[in-house]
Each structure stands twice: as structure tokens, then as C-alpha cells.
Chain A
Amino acid sequence: QQQVKQSPQSLIVQKGGISIINCAYENTAFDYFPWYQQFPGKGPALLIAIRPDVSEKKEGRFTISFNKSAKQFSLHIMDSQPGDSATYFCALSGNTGKLIFGQGTTLQVKP
């Protein structure tokens, strides 16, 4: 049973465009929602994270929007660049540090 559903599976965006990746979850026991970025041959790296007591968090070109009532959160990449081409994973975390990852979204930013 998937505890978090991520979409789309793949995404192609033109340079300078906005990339949007969505995640939905069921269990409200989680209280930390990170996004990880993974390049081929590398491990995931933390990009940005949010707690459910805020609705939005922005760090540079990356923004997380969080809708607690709908149990959904999304990653927005503004002014997408070719260097952003990677696989992105949303994740859920409770109080143990164990992460439950989404299925991943492969982003390709075309120059």
C-alpha cells in the first residue's frame, strides 16, 4: 500500500518555465515533509522541507506548498534550469527519522 502518491511520473519543461510536482498522502501521523533531489549515480540530497503548521516555504527558486486539509503538498521550481534536470522525490517523516518516499518524478528541463 502506497502511503504517498507522487505525480507526474515524468515532466518536461522549457528553460525558464515552472515545474510542479505533486504528492498526496493518507496517514496524518507524519509531521515533516521533505523533498529530495537525485542525480543519476548519486544518492538523494535534501532540497527543501516543510512542517504542516505552515502553508508555504520558499528557498530561492524552490517552493513547497502544503494543504493540510487535503493532505497534499507540492514542489514548485521557478525559472527552471537545465541543471535542475534530475529525479525528485517527496517523502513523509514521523518522529523516528525513517523516511517514506514517493515513486519519484523525472524532470527534464530543455534549453
Chain B
Amino acid sequence: GAGVSQSPRYKVAKRGQDVALRCDPISGHVSLFWYQQALGQGPEFLTYFQNEAQLDKSGLPSDRFFAERPEGSVSTLKIQRTQQEDSAVYLCASSLGYGTGDEKLFFGSGTQLSVL
């Protein structure tokens, strides 16, 4: 595809439900990042994949958050037993290389999660 694609665009969940957010990165991109953006704030890092390997998950807020990228392309961010504080926009980004720090990140439009 032309860019990073995320689905669903909007997700409403009842407190306690599990949700799964999907990210399709740009084809061939090695690195994939997940960020959480609260309303009116800057994005905050959640986790980083290099191909299928999850190299950094230091930003995941709790063990209710789980991410995977089993074949090194599509990634899924799963949130178990959602809480109201999980309400945010979840952004996925990809880059061509191996996360050297000066690469351009391409962001998707995000999934807006609302937990009622």
C-alpha cells in the first residue's frame, strides 16, 4: 500500500472488554513502532519491532498490553480487560531500516479507542 494502514479507525469498548488493533506497515519496512497519544498530548512510545522480533517493550503501561508481529509485517496491539484510562489514539509507525535513530518514521492515522 501507499502508506501505513491501521484498523479499525474507531473502536468503542466497554470496560473490561479485550480489543485488538491492527497495523499494516509499508511493504518492506523493517522497523515498526506503536505509540499511544492521549488527547492534547504528544505520542508516547509503547513498543518496537525489528522484523518479527520485539526489541523494546519498555513503554507498555501494564501486562494488559501485548503486541506481536509474527511474520515481520502486520502487527497487532492487544489490550486485555480495557480500562477507561486506556482511551487514546493508538498510532503505528514504520521505517525502512533497522531503527538507527535518524530514519524517517511513517505514521498511520491511528485507531481512536474509547473505553466506556
- Chain A residues close to B by CB (< 8 Å): 6, 31-32, 41-46, 49, 51, 89, 91, 93-104
Binds A, one of B13-21, B35-43, B70-78: B35-43
A42 and B101: CB pair below 8 A?
no
User: How many angstroms from the CA of A99 to the CA of B35 in the assembled complex?
Assistant: 9
* Interface residues of B, Cβ cutoff 8 Å to A: 4, 31, 33, 35, 40-45, 48, 55-56, 91, 93, 95, 98-105, 107-110
User: Is the Cβ of B41 less than 8 Å from the Cβ of A42?
Assistant: no
Q: Which 9 A-B pairs have the closest CB atoms?
A: A43-B107, A97-B99, A101-B42, A32-B102, A95-B101, A93-B101, A46-B104, A89-B42, A104-B42
Instruction: Give CA–CA (A42, B107) in the complex, Å.
Output: 8
Tell me which residues across on chain B come within 8 A of A94, comparing CB atoms.
101
Contacts of B41 in A (CB 8 A): 103-104
9 additional A-B residue pairs with CB within 8 Å, beyond A43-B109, A98-B48: A6-B42, A32-B102, A97-B48, A97-B105, A99-B35, A100-B45, A101-B44, A103-B41, A104-B41
B45 contacts which chain A residues (CB < 8 A)?
98-100
Q: A31-B101, A32-B101, A32-B102 are in contact. Are A98 and B33 (CB under 8 A)?
A: yes
In the complex the two chains form, is B95's CB within 8 Å of A97's CB? yes
A6 to B100, CA, bound (A): 24
B93 touches A96 (CB 8 A): no
Main secondary structure of the interface of B (DSSP, over half): loop
Instruction: Please give me the residue from chain B that is nearest to A42 by CB atom.
Output: B109
Q: Are B109 and A97 in contact (CB under 8 A)?
A: no
Cross-interface CB contact of A41 among B42, B101, B102, B109, cutoff 8 Å: B109
CB proximity of A36 to chain B, nearest CB, Å: 8
Are the CB atoms of A95 and B43 closer together than 8 Å? Answer: no
Contact A43 B110 (CB under 8 A): yes
B107 to chain A, nearest CB (A): 3
A43 and B48: CB pair below 8 A? no
Residue of A nearest to B93 (CB): A43
User: B102 → chain A, closest Cβ, in Å?
Assistant: 5
Nearest CB to that of B50 among chain A residues?
A97
Shortest distance from the beta carbon of A49 to any chain B beta carbon, whole Å: 7
